A and B are shown apart, each in its own frame.
Chain A
Amino acid sequence: MNVEIIVAIILISYLRTSSLTYEVPLRWKKTLKWGLIVSITVWILDVSTLLGDVFGKVLSILLVGAVIYAILRFKELDKGRQLVFAWLPLLLLSLIIEVVEFIFPQFYKRWDDYFLLAIFCAIAWGIAMWINNNRQRKALEREKIKSLAREQEFKATEQMKIMLERQVRERTSALTQQKEELEKTLEELKSTQAQLIHAEKMASLGELTAGIAHEIQNPLNFVNNFSEVSSELLDEMKEELQKGDIEEVKVLVEDIKLNLEKINHHGKRADAIVKGMLMHSRNNSEEKSLTDINALAEEYLRLSYHGLRAKDKSFNASFKLDLHPDLPSINIVPQDIGRVFLNLINNAFYAVNQQAKNLQEKGIQDYTPKVEVATALYSDHGRGNVMITIRDNGIGIPQAIKAKIFQPFFTTKPTGEGTGLGLSLSYDIIKAHGGNLEVGHNDSNDQFNAEIGLEESCRGTVFTITLPYDNI
């Protein structure tokens, strides 16, 4: 039996089969193919006894030897090594038996059965090794599959990581850009706010100027008129002196003296107004000084009234001052509190003017626009407070927007008429003085309101300022 050629065929076939753990080396493909063809040809010729017995055997041994040599010699054919060890005993045994048979035919014949048994053992060994090898290979393949899967997973993770990193980079740059844009917007908003605050200041200054012009004009007229008339009286006095009517001269002297007092009074009045205007327009003077709230309220009520009168000829309203006679002077920044007064009083006049227009459209007569500024003292938990109320019977503030009126830029006036900063600035100023600014409905339920059936929220507004006077 020619075992060698069969082993050679098995080995070559095995080497030619690719698997997960083994790829047929490229440079061996051709060799292996021709090896197989040659081996099969030899085997067929051997079986058909066309080759000589010895020649076939030698050819087979050479072939299997070459294959084994290649497997042991070249690393890339390492896969076959296990199989070589599986079939090596069979090959060696076969060789020994051939040699023994050739040299000692007697001996061979005598131990014939034992040699056959040994051959079977070697075959069994080969098969066992083969199966074992296969199993090991399968396990290896499983491992390989697992590691491949892991590798793939790792690759996927890597890819995901790269993707995520890219996304993070993109988001970071987008966010940075956004942040920069927002910072820029914030800067712009800040400067706009500063501009608006300045505009609000200038607007209230503009409102003041008209009032101030009128307020100054009046005392100046008196100064001029009284000085002129005094001069006339002096001429008369000269005449009386010539006539010798001393009694009349005495009367004239009294009159002139009175006139000089009037001139002085009105001069001082104009002076105070100019000073007040300067204080109002001054930007950074934030010094507190002991201030007579009654005088301040009166001054700004008049300024507001005359300012609005000067601006709008059709405007008219009656105003009333109800001042507490024993109000202590309190330590405040007069131009700041003055601005609050001006703002609130202007609003009140605006509201009554609107109400007058509304009611006129509805054909309702007899509406008397009224703005009232009152001061009072009250004690809250032992703290002394000066309370200033500005009450009007104007259009009122709807409940829905009451919460918003102190917000910056909130305004109900048409665009361009109000900055929406008046009340918010007023609120800040009062808070900075440790006081409080509250808004409520005018609850006075007079006959007029009852007759025309105005809702409570449309009967007017009361703003109440409280300023503590004992702890500033």
Chain B
Amino acid sequence: MKILIVDDEKDVETLFRQKFRKEIKTGNLELVFAFSGREALDILEESNPPKVMYMFSDINMPGMSGLELLEEVKARYPELQVSMISAYGDQENHDKAMDSGATGFFTKPIDFESLKKEINNLLQ
């Protein structure tokens, strides 16, 4: 399963790759990374329908924000599941994300246990 992670912090890639080391190693999980909303859309456009099954996106990014990306992605690929990750765990962002069709809402620092659970549910 291919998962796309969008965050402007590049170290997120290292972190995720190590956290899901085992899953990647077994070939169950494939991670792709984008560092801006624009890049994420480019990756999704590579094939139609996209090979990516799940997208995690940071909200607070320069340029296109995570919420804008969410709307855009949901408009183009309604099937794709999207969860948001935000440094600000406020109700406003949460509600907006949910209204726009987000599957989940995670706050930073990311609780990898629940994230893993969510991904494992998908894998099964």
Q: Do A and B bind each other?
A: yes
Residues on A close to B: CB < 8 A? 214, 217-218, 220-222, 224-226, 228-229, 232-233, 236, 255, 258-259, 262, 266, 305-306, 309-310, 313, 316-319
- Secondary structure at chain A's binding surface: helix, strand, loop or mixed? helix
Quick one: which of B88, B109, B110 has the most chain A CB within 10 A? B109
Residue-by-residue, is B78-112 near A (CB-CB < 8 Å gives 1, otherwise 0)?
00000000011010110000000000000011101
In the complex, besides A226-B15, A229-B18, A316-B68, 16 extra interface pairs with C-beta distance below 8 angstroms are A217-B87, A217-B108, A218-B9, A218-B87, A221-B108, A221-B109, A222-B9, A222-B11, A228-B112, A236-B21, A259-B14, A310-B88, A313-B88, A313-B92, A318-B62, A318-B63
Q: What residues of chain B lie closer than 8 Å to A221, measured between beta carbons?
A: 108-110
CB of B62 within 8 A of CB of A313, answer: no
Which of B18, B60, B63 meets A255, CB within 8 Å?
B18
**A393 to B: closest C-beta gap in Å:** 14
Q: Which of B1-33 contact A (CB under 8 A)?
A: 9, 11, 14-15, 18-19, 21
How many residue pairs bridge A and B at CB < 8 Å?
A: 54
- Cα A464 to Cα B28 with chains together (Å): 54
- Secondary structure at chain B's binding surface: helix, strand, loop or mixed? loop
- Cα A305 to Cα B18 with chains together (Å): 30
- Cα A22 to Cα B114 with chains together (Å): 129
Pairs of residues from A and B, 8 with the lowest C-beta to C-beta distance, nearest first: A318-B63, A221-B109, A229-B18, A316-B65, A225-B15, A221-B108, A313-B92, A318-B62
CB of B15 within 8 A of CB of A229, answer: yes
16 A–B contacts, CB within 8 A, in A order: A214-B60, A218-B9, A220-B109, A221-B109, A222-B9, A224-B109, A225-B15, A225-B112, A232-B18, A236-B21, A259-B18, A305-B62, A306-B60, A313-B90, A313-B93, A318-B64
Task: Closest B residue to A317 by CB, please name it.
Answer: B62
Task: Closest B residue to A214 by CB, please name it.
Answer: B87
Which of B60, B92, B109 meets A309, CB within 8 Å?
B60
Which of B11, B87, B88 meets A266, CB within 8 Å?
B11
CB of B11 within 8 A of CB of A262, answer: yes
Q: What residues of chain A lie closer than 8 Å to B18, measured between beta carbons?
A: 229, 232-233, 255, 259
CB of B93 within 8 A of CB of A262, answer: no
- Cα A45 to Cα B71 with chains together (Å): 147
Residue-by-residue, is B57-79 near A (CB-CB < 8 Å gives 1, otherwise 0)?
00010111100100000000000
Task: Closest B residue to A229 by CB, please name it.
Answer: B18
Task: Closest B residue to A248 by CB, please name it.
Answer: B25
Task: Closest A residue to B60 by CB, please name it.
Answer: A309
Q: What residues of chain A lie closer than 8 Å to B19, measured between beta carbons?
A: 229, 232
Q: What residues of chain B lie closer than 8 Å to A319, measured between beta carbons?
A: 62
Quick one: which of B63, B90, B92 has the most chain A CB within 10 A? B63
CB of A222 within 8 A of CB of B62, answer: no
Q: What residues of chain B lie closer than 8 Å to A214, measured between beta carbons?
A: 60, 87-88
Q: What residues of chain A lie closer than 8 Å to B90, measured between beta carbons?
A: 313
- Cα A362 to Cα B14 with chains together (Å): 44
- Cα A313 to Cα B18 with chains together (Å): 32
Task: Closest A residue to B93 by CB, please name it.
Answer: A313
- Cα A313 to Cα B68 with chains together (Å): 13
CB of B14 within 8 A of CB of A262, answer: yes
